[in-house]
Amino acid sequence: MVNDDRIVGGQEAFIDDYPHQVSFVVNNTYFCGGSIISENWILTAAHCSQNVDPSTVVLRGGSSWRKNGTIIPIEKVIAHPEYDNPAFDKDVAVMKTKEPIQFSDTMQPIGLPSIDRAMRGGTEVSVSGWGRTEQGAASIPERLMDVRIPVVSYPECFLSYFSVLTRNMWCGGNFFLGGQGTCQGDSGGSAIQDGMAVGIVSFGRGCGQSFAPSVFANIAAPPIRNFIKEHTDL
């Protein structure tokens, strides 16, 4: 099982279509994505940001290119206190910016769902990121990528991840055929449905594999949605 860092089976994308999307590097060592949810807050995954010193975070927004864009200084990083208990569960964190983000056509906040909003099997979500584009790839792409994937029903996903799946998660991808999904590098980015961020890229077995869909933290799940509300008032 690996935390997911890339888009598999997708295509090049434009930041104008995903103006909430940001990228960040921690300590020059690992790479994750995130989403602008207000002028002061970024949403990401706990596994990207647990025990992270804000001064080691280089976060960029506003560009389709990974190494371009506006650097957004971070003041504080807060991971869910119950992350990884049980394993992989409640994989959510928020990062507070030092200064309010100046919104533009390429930097905009994404909305959040109401608590307990259902993720229905067969509906589609869009996922963007700079993660690896195939399993085992040596490098991550310079250009933003995106993919549309179907939501996998909870019972189907449970067949693949029965030892770790909780109701604070949902799955996406082509369950039987594979070929599309997230991978190393996409972690922390959002899955978008109906103009809202409904999931946070969390983990998976391989990348775009059959019977191994991508797993997302369910933003509408009460333990996750309440954590976001508590810290950001959103």
Instruction: Name the catalytic one among 91, 128, 160, 190.
Output: 91
- Cα–Cα dist 131/6, whole Å: 3
Instruction: Name the catalytic one among 35, 160, 187, 190.
Output: 187
**47 catalytic, yes or no?**
yes
**91 catalytic, yes or no?**
yes
CB–CB of 16/106 below 8 Å? Answer: yes
Strand spans (E) along 69-165: 70-71, 74-79, 93-97, 124-129, 145-152
Instruction: Name the catalytic one among 20, 47, 89, 202.
Output: 47
How far from 110 is each of 22, 103, 125, 198, CA to CA, in Å?
A: 12, 12, 14, 10
How far from 111 is each of 63, 196, 199, 234, CA to CA, in Å?
A: 20, 5, 12, 9
**104 catalytic, yes or no?**
no
Active site positions, annotated: 47, 91, 187
